[in-house]
Amino acid sequence: MDFFIQLVVNGLSVGFIYGISAMGFVMIFKSSSVLNFAHGELLAMGAYIFLVLVTWVELPVYAAFLLTMATCFSLGFIVERLFLRPLIGEPLIFVIMLTVGLAAMFKGLILLIWGGNLHTFPDFLPSWLSLNWGSVAVQPVYTLALVVGTIFLVLFGIFFKFSSQGIYMRSVADNQRAALSLGVNVKKVFALSWAIAALVAGMSGIILGIINGVNVHDLSAIGLKVFPVVILGGLDSIGGAIVGGLIIGLLETLTGGYISPSLRDVVPYIVLVFILMVKPYGLFGQVEIERV
């Protein structure tokens, strides 16, 4: 029984991190219908920027974290400005191909600067962050992920539900023509959604870096893992991304623990196929409201 509980706890912890990694992806899809294939590389950028600030510049962890967030936010803004803005109004497939190119570019850039070796952050997490109930334990980094992830979720929830800018962003996602006719600055909305997405990606990149070490190949592979997560949760639902992440995480660890570790990457996809047969928009995806 303890084994089962430990697996569930591990699965939920890993799944929550998948979920927050996917949040940024959903953000971009929601506002501009673009599938961002460079998401994994944005995660990696965050982790490397944090690495530089902590190990080379030797800033205190809190300052390094805040500075990384600010850098990622600007990075997202600049990427939109330089690469995506010229493509506004072009067919979506061009934009999606561009993100594939961006992924290669970022990866090359990271390899050029830092090489492909595994780097690690210094161990800065205090041990009181680890939680223990009897034989079941949660490692400090997962507690950290839970706290930081929840803070981000609540902040975004408030932002999108109540702030004017958040409502303008949702209006663009909903009906771009109508938003234009009311003078919503669509370009600003796109820029902001890339900036926020890069910020969230950077945050989850740091957490993944603490768990697995910082390596561009590993981190960009996580970028691919967000696909089953968001397809399961519904491409346009931030809450769905979290639930999708939790389910995929749980399935992975349970399969790894009870069936065979070599199946852990396969079973989630099998379940995904079955769920999509029942709910084609994903668990929480918006079903098109049709008026007759």
**Interface contacts to another protein, rule CB under 8 A:** 89, 164-165, 167-168, 170-171, 174-175, 177-187, 286, 289, 291
Helix/strand/coil for 59 = coil
Q: Which residue, 55 or 171, is less far from another protein as judged by CB?
A: 171
Q: Which residue, 277 or 289, is less far from another protein as judged by CB?
A: 289
Q: Distances from the Cα of 69 to the Cαs of 15, 20, 144, in angstroms? A: 22, 15, 16
Min CB(176)–another protein separation in Å: 8
Q: Which residue, 74 or 175, is less far from another protein as judged by CB?
A: 175
Min CB(50)–another protein separation in Å: 33
- The CA-based angle 285-288-291, given to 5 degrees, is 155
Rg (CA), the chain: 19
Residue 288 Rama label (left phi>0; alpha psi -120 to 50; beta):
beta
Cβ-contact 248, 231 below 8 angstroms:
no
Min CB(280)–another protein separation in Å: 18
- Amino acid identity, position 162: F
Backbone angles phi, psi at 147, to 5 degrees: -65, -50
Min CB(116)–another protein separation in Å: 43
Backbone angles phi, psi at 26, to 5 degrees: -60, -40
Q: Which residue, 188 or 264, is less far from another protein as judged by CB?
A: 188
Helix/strand/coil for 137 = strand
Min CB(183)–another protein separation in Å: 3
Q: Which residue, 81 or 170, is less far from another protein as judged by CB?
A: 170
Min CB(185)–another protein separation in Å: 6
Cβ-contact 242, 59 below 8 angstroms:
no
Q: Which residue, 83 or 160, is less far from another protein as judged by CB?
A: 160
Closest CA to 100 of 154, 41, 155, 46: 41
